[in-house]
Structure 1
Amino acid sequence: MQTNLFNIVLLSFLLSLGCSSVYSQDLKKKPSAIPAQKQVDKPIVSPINETKTLKKVGDTIIKKDSLKSNKNILEGKVVYKADQYSRIDQKKKHITLYDKAELYYKDIELKAGIIILDYEKNEVYAGRIKDSTGKLTQYPNFKQGSNVIEPDSIRFNFKTKKALIWNSRTDQGEFKVKAQVTKKENDSVYFLKNARFTTSTNVDNPEYYFQTSKVKFIPGKKVITGLTHMVIANVPTPIAMPFAYFPMSKETSVSGILLPSYNDSNTRGFSLQNGGYYFALSDQYDLTVMGDYYTNGSYGMRFESAYAKRYNYRGNVNIRYENLISSERGFPDYSKQKIYNIQWSHSRDSKANPNSSFSASVNLGSSKYFTQSINQANVGSTLNNTLSSSVSYSKTFNSVPEVRMSLSATHSQNTQTQVIDMTLPTLQLSVDRIYPFAGKDEVKKGFIKNINFQYNLNGRNSVTTTDSLFFKPQMFRDAKIGAQHTIPISTNFKLFKYFSATTTANYEEVWYLQTLKRFYDTDKSAVVEETINGFDAFRTYSFSSSLGTTIYGTFNFGDDKRIKSIRHVMRPSLSYSYTPSFEKYYDTYASDASGKMAQYTRFENGIYGSPGLTNASNVGISISNTFEAKVTDSDSTKVEAKKIMLLNNLNVSTSYDLNADGKTTLAWAPVRVSGGTQLFKDKLNMNFATTLDPYAIDNSGTRINTFNVNNGGSLFRMTSANMTLNYAISSKEKDKKDKNSQTTRNGGREDDLFGTNNGFGNNQPSQFDGSEEEGDDKISEFFTSNLPWDMTFAYALTYGNSNREKTITGNSVMISANTDLTPKWKVGMSTGYDFVQKGVTYTQLRFERDLASWRMSFNWTPFGTNANWNFFIGIKSGVLSDVKWNKNSAVRR
């Protein structure tokens, strides 16, 4: 059989064709493009996370098998939108969003010019796009939780939470971080390459930054870097660290080291000041421990703590101790002393317990602390001559009648004499008024129904000591203890319709645990006093009454006048008081060897005084006046006249002693005149006072029973007078001063007439209040017309003529002024002149420059006992407050 190859191949093809389906080629026509509709406000919800959904792509419907598992399915819904288009590529499994693209997945928010979501790999890519000019715009903004990153581009995996970020920019607390490449390891760890971080507002062009090649970054907690160096104005500096650690906790306070400041002194050598550690113990209290050390052996320690509990209490405690050594041992100017200061401030919220309260304001210690301290240059505290303290607790008992009790301890210390007066403690108890002749809810009207009485108890343990004996056993040996009981009985009523009358009778009983006995000792030929221990008491009573009224007078000048009227309010008052003699509490003793007798009472030197020996019968006269005017308002749109206070008080008072004998006592007391007012919209505060004596004096300066007018003089002899003026003006409303500052707590002024505190180390005060606009780009025009400024003016004048000296005893003026030379330069000056001493008073010059992220200041006191200067430059940010340079001179005292 002859075989034909061609026939065999053809037969095989035909047989195969009969067992299979045949398809012909179909060339479809290209469909016309359907324009995309913008749906900016309506986000598209991707269903790629569901197991059974329908997706429509063009005209093709694809149905997913609900039984088929997909390991690459996302765990949550993805919401996205874009301005130009949102395109799904089913083959590549990509979703492309273009122009103002936004994507939301769980806690992740991503915004960029272009976003590509690969839902097969669970990854997202985001980057910038070019605008019509070819400029790159719409930089990505990646937010996860509270962390925000603004890179050039980003690649993120939803499953592993890892990411690669190029040229990222992020804010972490006060830090602004920029890195060339960032690797996000997980939700809590980032690794950065070629990073820089700064506190400047412009992260792309900062005035300074720290440059490092490797960084481990834990958001909200810390930054750990390798070799780090500082760059200022894009110029690398030799300031470098082999590694660095920066805490970045989200908590309000974080424990950490306080780096010291370097300084030197001619008498104490080189020093490190204000180094220590800050302990953030809890949300309610903290502790700062700082110290100073000088190479000659001087050192200082400070413990500062602030505490607070919302709706309950708040306060702070400062304890300072210094061991001061001047010069070197063996030199004639060598000296050594120990000084300390304790301050405690505590206040209790009234919401905590409305029936009780506790408060403390303590400032005690060495009298020379503020003048000798190596860590204080506070002139206001230095010039203050008194340190005072008070700790008190009070409680109200809701009984009938109501009872109020308080316990307090006080302290007063004269820093010049070093004498300390303390009460440890004082007990005060009072019972509310009782009206025995009026019902509980009855109107108390008339002489009888207004009769009331009270009970008051005052017990005290008083101690007087000196600075050297403070809190030593000898301090308590001479303590004086006593108690005072008073029961005032009073009533008030109207008399002749226009007069108000008050009558009071007062009973007093005083208890002492120590009295004295005085006698003449013939062996010693001197008067001797002995202390008698044991309970003893005396009882006294007194009577007083007063009568007063109010008189109104108006002087009208006409509606067409600038001053329309002046109103005068006068309140005259006449009072009488009587205290009898209590001779029964007096004894006699021989005052010398001749037997000359003298009187004394065993209750002398008691803390509540002693009973009087003579009858006291006095008539008091006083008149208070108020003057105000109605003037036409300078604002023509206002119809009503404006009220202006001319004198808010003008007081005249004197008294007459009905039992005066004209020899040891004179009948008329000097007339006291005082007054005060506020002018120029209450910016000028003026007060004045004078004493006018109707009696003449002899050649020794003793008052005699002869009226001055009968001795060839005027009706009254001015013995003293004083006047003070305080004037504060500014180009804008000044903020209220800090009444809890170091200066005011030590008794100084709230203003800066005595200059500002030259804080050392981290205690640098600033003239900038934080409201200034940052960045030179904010200044759009030349700074010429409106210069912010403020000025405080004070003038004091005192006159003395008690012995015909007619002398100006005090005449001084003080001025403080501050202004802005430019938006970034502030200057200030405090100075004055004493016309009596003919010299310049305390003078301070202040300069401060705002360097955006930095601050520079220079304070100079050119002369005087407190002459010194202080220079400071440092970063404003609290987290980098240790990056500073502080130099100051020793205070010359």
Structure 2
Amino acid sequence: MRTNLFHTVLLSIFLCMVCCTAQSQEIRNRKPAVPAVKQADSTKLPSVQLPVAGNVAITDTIKPAVDTIKPKKKGLDGIVKRKATDYEKIDQKKKELTLYNEAELYYKDIELKAGVIIMNYEKDEVYAGRIKDSLGNYSQYPYFKQGANVVEADSIHFNTVTKKARVWNSRTDQGEFRVKAEITKKENDSVIFMKNAIFTTSKNIDNPEYYFKASKIKLVPGQKVVVGPTNMWIANVPTPLGIPFAFFPTSDKAESGLLVPSYGDSNNRGYYLQNGGYYLALSDYYDLSVTGDYYTNGSYGLRFQSDYAKRYSFNGNVNIRFENLVTSERGLPDYARTKNYNIQWSHSQDSKANPNSRFSASVNLGSSTYYRQSINTANVGSSLNNTLQSSVSYSKTFQTVPQVNISLSATHSQNTNTKVINMTLPTLQASVDRIFPFAPADAPKKGFIKNINLQYNLRGENRILTTDSLFFKPEMFRDARSGLQHTIPLSTNFKIFKYFSVSAGTNYQETWVMNTIDKSVVNDTVVTKDVKGFDAFRTYNFSSSIGTTIYGTFNFGEDKKIQAIRHVMRPSVSYSYTPSFEKYYDTYQLDNTGTQYKEYTRFEGGIFGAPGLGYSNNIGLSVNNTFEAKVRNDDENAKDSEPKKVMLLNNLNFTTSYNIAADSLAWSPLRVSAGTNLFKEKMNINFGATLDPYAIDNSGRRIDMYNIDNGGSLFRLTSANVTLNYSLSSTDGDGNKKDENSQTAKNGGRTDDLFGVGTDLSDSRQSLFKDEDEEGTEKKDKSEGGFFNAKLPWNLNLAYSLTYNNNARERRITGSSLMVSGNLDITPKWKMGFSSGYDFVQQGVTFTQLRFERDLLSWRMDFNWVPFGNNTYWGFFIGIKSSVLSDIKYDKRQVPDRAVGQ
């Protein structure tokens, strides 16, 4: 082995030596050497002799400049996340990344999904396209998202650095617009150019029901869309509607702009333009809409509406409306001119803004005839309302011991029939929380002594009584009345005999007023003189009550359908005593003989009433009853077999009183009331009756004789009323939902459809029907296919009212009316509704309204018709739902001919 190793090494050395070049006694020719010429270094600084002071050497601080321009970094400057189903390929020579089939690429703020993706990270370019499936059909279209911009296309080619791109058959959303273009060129993040594009508000951009076709478009994302010659297409058919150019704002923020009016004609005011004006987007917190109407006979109207809100603080809206109405022609006998106005203000504070103080407002005031004569409302529910009410209040709680509450408010109540207005400007209320002087704060309060508590309440008012014609004039403040009322209630409660609850208390009141009266007779006429100045009176009373609760159960057996009935009875007896305060009464002479006098109090007509002359000593009796049943549960799908509780009577109440101090007619009428819900609480029934134990004479006056002693029954039925409400629907809900935020509700009208649905003439894009789905969600198609098995949502509301009167033996039904309203989805896109009724006493049909609506996807069409009555009206509307194209519409209506004084 060693011999072989030696020969192997020797042979290797020999072979290496043979491979070397061998030259013997010869020198190869070499080229002549070129002498090196020393060049002057131009980068060196000239030598400078610096002076030396003493032994201190001065160092040259001038250094050569450093080049700050860094060479361009090659390759990627961000993390690339990728995914593909078939394969991923990286070509380092071409600097390319290829993803195929369900490819996904995430790079910086770019999200890209497509069938195939090719990324050249040296040129900073990305290509994305679709692929063909096994049948030859294209699929997996590119989806590109950068920031908030989303583009869907057939193919995309863009640069990640310059942001430039070219897109084929792109589909993108810009605000409420959906845009599709044949070729799209993206210059940067701010400007996009499109060729042969269509834009629409339809949800289906590939097959829209309508669109606008433009040869070229300039798009600034989030700001505007500028188009060249544009033509409108409906159902892929061109229409004559076209414009040479157009500008559409697409900003996410509100923008100011013109509001295009609607036109039409009326019978007695001529042609008109309605709801034209200007919208002002003043800030992110509030806006202002100024609109107006004009009629060719000189009538006009102005409206100012503002909505405001601040998150976690407050929100509200203000609506001011004014109308100058002209009827007929000047010089004719029926010529009239009137001015109407209405002011609405709603403000609510977020509970999280300040837990110890709160400000709220609900204002609805104006002319009593506004809703009956307005040229811009078609809301019968509001016109039938006889009361306008307002309230503005501020309250604050002081977290002291005891707690103190203070509130300041202004109220307004207006009767639109009598045109009488009651206002308080302002009302001050203050209260101190209950104080238990005989019980420690941390100890339980049991017994008569420990439960003794007292409070202090203060109420101050400045009350104004005026009329519609004097409102906002100096005369309305002339007869204002002011006063303060102090109240100190002292009460306690305890139990006796374990089952009886007793409460007792006394109430002390001191009233301060700034207005009193003085009465006298002048020439046989009573003259009342208003006396200005401070005055006061003091009253007190005592009250107590004792009550208990009695339970009774009637068992019928568990094998019965109705297993048991439970009766809960709450009887109570109360006592109240109020003395006579004759010291506050004076007399005045009725005639010159000096024999006839009449008593009166100078506090008569005060804002807090007047002290009583006669004392009362009343005993009150009341019995409250409830009945409920335990019913066997026969539902096989029920999770348990527990019986169900069904309420038979929500309440059955009997109330009366007896005045011990009265010398006659001591018993007050017995009041009976009852209420219940039937048919899974869909039917609500309420009943009330008044039973008088005393008889009446031939003139209809009550006499001090029991009715049973006068040949009658124990009680005489003097009045009765029954109300019934029934709601049916195709679902298990409550039928038609109530809209508490509707304009009808804000005006004080009914929130259901029994008096019709109010039409907002200022915005006809709003639906006449209440959707069961949440706002902003797409309405679901509830049909299951076919004709007979289609589910058609519907609801029906019934209301019946009956009133009976027998005060003076008239035995007459004074009111009997039936009202009905309903809504039906004839098809998933067709809706109809109606409201009507019949008055059985007047023997006539009540207000009737028919409503039809068609959902045309991006469009809406409706027809609203009141066929007969004093509020005859019809209106037809078809237009685009989107607010950005709300001016593309056809709105035709015939408003009621409002007459001044109607």
Please, what TM-score do these two structures have when normalized by structure 1? Answer: 0.89
User: 2:312 aligns to what SS in structure 1?
Assistant: coil
- Output one character per residue of 1:103-145: Cα deviation in whole Å (capped at 9) or x when no partner: 4433223333333444554433333332222222222222222
Cα 1:555–1:83 shift into 2, 3 Å: closer
1:852-891 alignment runs, 5 A limit: 852-891=857-896
1:612-761 alignment runs, 5 A limit: 612-636=612-636, 637=638, 638-662=640-664, 666-732=665-731, 733=733, 734=735, 736-761=737-762
1:199 is aligned to 2:204: no
1:298-447 alignment runs, 5 A limit: 298-447=299-448
Asked if the contact 2:765/2:879 (under 8 Å) is kept, the reply is no
Distance 1:616 1:77 in 2: 91
Match of 1:140 among 139, 142, 162: 142
Asked if the contact 1:222/1:247 (under 8 Å) is kept, the reply is yes
How far off is 1:776 after superposition?
9.2
1:109-508 alignment runs, 5 A limit: 109-119=111-121, 121-251=123-253, 253-508=254-509
Which residue of the partner structure matches residue 3 of structure 2?
Answer: none
Which residue identity does 1:158 align to in structure 2?
T
Cα 1:435–1:72 shift into 2, 3 Å: closer
Cα 1:492–1:159 shift into 2, 3 Å: closer
Q: 742-751 vs 337-346, which deviates more?
A: 742-751
Which residue identity does 1:109 align to in structure 2?
E
Which residue of the partner structure matches residue 599 of structure 1?
Answer: 599
Distance 1:118 1:435 in 2: 84
Q: 89-98 vs 528-537, which deviates more?
A: 89-98
Any stretches of 5+ residues in structure 2 without a counterpart?
A: 1-27, 30-68
Distance 2:783 2:527 in 1: 82
Q: 177-186 vs 146-155, which deviates more?
A: 146-155
1:609 is aligned to 2:609: yes
Distance 1:222 1:292 in 2: 30
Distance 2:120 2:455 in 1: 88
Cα 1:89–1:407 shift into 2, 3 Å: closer
Which residue of the partner structure matches residue 552 of structure 1?
Answer: 551
User: 1:187 aligns to what SS in structure 2?
Assistant: coil
- Output one character per residue of 1:609-647: Cα deviation in whole Å (capped at 9) or x when no partner: 111111211111111111111111131454221111111
1:531 is aligned to 2:533: no
Q: 105-114 vs 160-169, which deviates more?
A: 105-114
User: 1:448 aligns to what SS in structure 2?
Assistant: helix
1:841 is aligned to 2:846: yes
How far off is 1:175 after superposition?
1.4
Asked if the contact 1:845/1:861 (under 8 Å) is kept, the reply is yes
Q: 94-103 vs 68-77, which deviates more?
A: 68-77
Which residue of the partner structure matches residue 588 of structure 2?
Answer: 589
Which residue of the partner structure matches residue 810 of structure 2?
Answer: 805
Which residue of the partner structure matches residue 38 of structure 1?
Answer: none
Distance 1:248 1:420 in 2: 48
Distance 1:805 1:285 in 2: 59
Distance 1:97 1:454 in 2: 80
How far off is 1:525 after superposition?
3.9
- Output one character per residue of 1:275-300: Cα deviation in whole Å (capped at 9) or x when no partner: 22222223322222222222222221
Which residue identity does 1:815 align to in structure 2?
V
Asked if the contact 1:695/1:704 (under 8 Å) is kept, the reply is yes
Distance 2:691 2:496 in 1: 32
Asked if the contact 2:736/2:796 (under 8 Å) is kept, the reply is no
Distance 2:70 2:485 in 1: 97
Asked if the contact 2:80/2:105 (under 8 Å) is kept, the reply is yes
Q: 629-638 vs 406-415, which deviates more?
A: 629-638
User: 1:539 aligns to what SS in structure 2?
Assistant: strand
Distance 1:401 1:87 in 2: 79
Cα 1:109–1:783 shift into 2, 3 Å: farther
Which residue identity does 2:358 align to in structure 1?
S
Please, what TM-score do these two structures have when normalized by structure 2? Answer: 0.88
Which residue of the partner structure matches residue 51 of structure 1?
Answer: none
User: 1:836 aligns to what SS in structure 2?
Assistant: coil
Distance 1:91 1:424 in 2: 87
Which residue identity does 1:144 align to in structure 2?
Q
How far off is 1:328 after superposition?
2.6
Distance 1:494 1:337 in 2: 65
Which residue of the partner structure matches residue 34 of structure 2?
Answer: none
How far off is 1:778 after superposition?
9.1
What is the root-mean-square deviation in Å for CA atoms of aligned residues?
Answer: 2.3
Cα 1:243–1:570 shift into 2, 3 Å: same
Asked if the contact 2:784/2:790 (under 8 Å) is kept, the reply is no
Distance 1:280 1:264 in 2: 31
Cα 1:76–1:140 shift into 2, 3 Å: same
Distance 1:709 1:779 in 2: 67
- Output one character per residue of 1:641-681: Cα deviation in whole Å (capped at 9) or x when no partner: 1111111111111111112222xxx1111111111111111
Which residue of the partner structure matches residue 65 of structure 2?
Answer: none
Asked if the contact 2:111/2:145 (under 8 Å) is kept, the reply is yes
- Output one character per residue of 1:744-789: Cα deviation in whole Å (capped at 9) or x when no partner: 1222122111111122141443126284867999975446442211
Cα 1:534–1:181 shift into 2, 3 Å: same
1:791 is aligned to 2:796: yes
- Output one character per residue of 1:61-107: Cα deviation in whole Å (capped at 9) or x when no partner: xxxxxx99668755445555544444556666655444334444332
Distance 1:693 1:851 in 2: 62
How far off is 1:449 after superposition?
2.0
User: 1:660 aligns to what SS in structure 2?
Assistant: coil
Which residue of the partner structure matches residue 52 of structure 2?
Answer: none
How far off is 1:461 after superposition?
0.7
Distance 1:416 1:337 in 2: 17
User: 1:447 aligns to what SS in structure 2?
Assistant: helix
Distance 1:778 1:538 in 2: 72
User: 2:450 aligns to what SS in structure 1?
Assistant: coil
Asked if the contact 1:370/1:376 (under 8 Å) is kept, the reply is yes
Give aligned pairs, total: 823
How far off is 1:329 after superposition?
2.2
Cα 1:540–1:70 shift into 2, 3 Å: closer
Which residue of the partner structure matches residue 31 of structure 1?
Answer: none
How far off is 1:563 after superposition?
1.2
Percent identity between the two aligned chains: 66
Which residue identity does 2:884 align to in structure 1?
V
Q: 270-279 vs 690-699, which deviates more?
A: 270-279
1:98-117 alignment runs, 5 A limit: 98-117=100-119
- Output one character per residue of 1:149-189: Cα deviation in whole Å (capped at 9) or x when no partner: 12222222334322222211112222110111111111110
Cα 1:164–1:661 shift into 2, 3 Å: same
Asked if the contact 2:859/2:879 (under 8 Å) is kept, the reply is yes
Which residue identity does 2:655 align to in structure 1?
S
- Output one character per residue of 1:700-738: Cα deviation in whole Å (capped at 9) or x when no partner: 111111111111111111110001011112112357422
User: 2:134 aligns to what SS in structure 1?
Assistant: coil
- Output one character per residue of 1:496-540: Cα deviation in whole Å (capped at 9) or x when no partner: 22211111112111111111111122xx44222222211111111
Which residue identity does 2:613 align to in structure 1?
L
User: 2:745 aligns to what SS in structure 1?
Assistant: helix
How far off is 1:837 after superposition?
0.5
Which residue of the partner structure matches residue 34 of structure 1?
Answer: none
Which residue of the partner structure matches residue 41 of structure 2?
Answer: none
